[in-house]
């Protein structure tokens, strides 16, 4: 079976930096995705890493280390609107388009 571990909650102040870690144990690995979900809303895609290294998209960056089965999502210059749940998800095979999701990290941004 597959297992993805991420912290359940993180709290930070506006303007701060938050790092959400995700460690995974899966039978295969093709790529790691991150999704954001606001309370009452649908998950929306943030980023995807298939290769080791850092991918930057505006204030958000995502990192992957395949050798360590580890990735993280970095949220910079936190804003109140970043208060949401963040999920990591693994795609296990190139020809398998299913995702296995972690339980999610709730980020609370305080003024």
Partner 1 sequence: DAGITQSPRHKVTETGTPVTLRCHQTENHRYMYWYRQDPGHGLRLIHYSYGVKDTDKGEVSDGYSVSRSKTEDFLLTLESATSSQTSVYFCAMGTPLSYEQYFGPGTRLTVT
Interacting residues with partner 1 (CB under 8 A): 8, 31, 33, 41-45, 48, 50, 87, 89, 91, 97-104
Identify the residue whose tokens are 């954001």: 36
Question: 48 or 70: whose CB is closer to partner 1?
Answer: 48
Radius of gyration of the chain (CA): 13
CB of 100 to partner 1, least distance (A): 8
The minimum distance between CB 25 and partner 1, in angstroms, equals 15
Closest to partner 1 by CB, 14 vs 56, is: 56
Angle at 3 between CA 109 and CA 101, to 5 degrees: 50
Phi-psi sector, 54: left (phi>0), alpha (psi -120 to 50), beta? beta
Looking at beta carbons only, is 54 or 103 nearer to partner 1? Answer: 103
């Amino acid at each position: 079976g597959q297992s993805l571990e991420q912290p359940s909650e993180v709290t930070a102040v506006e303007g701060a930096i938050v790092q959400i870690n995700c460690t995974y144990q899966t039978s295969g690995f093709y790529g790691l995705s991150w999704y954001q979900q606001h309370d009452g809303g649908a998950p929306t895609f943030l980023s995807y890493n298939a290769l080791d290294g850092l991918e930057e998209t505006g204030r958000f960056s995502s990192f992957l280390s395949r050798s360590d089965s580890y990735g993280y999502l970095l949220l910079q210059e936190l804003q109140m609107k970043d208060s949401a749940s963040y999920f990591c998800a693994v795609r296990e095979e190139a020809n398998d388009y299913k995702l296995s999701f972690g339980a999610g990290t709730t980020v609370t941004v305080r003024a």
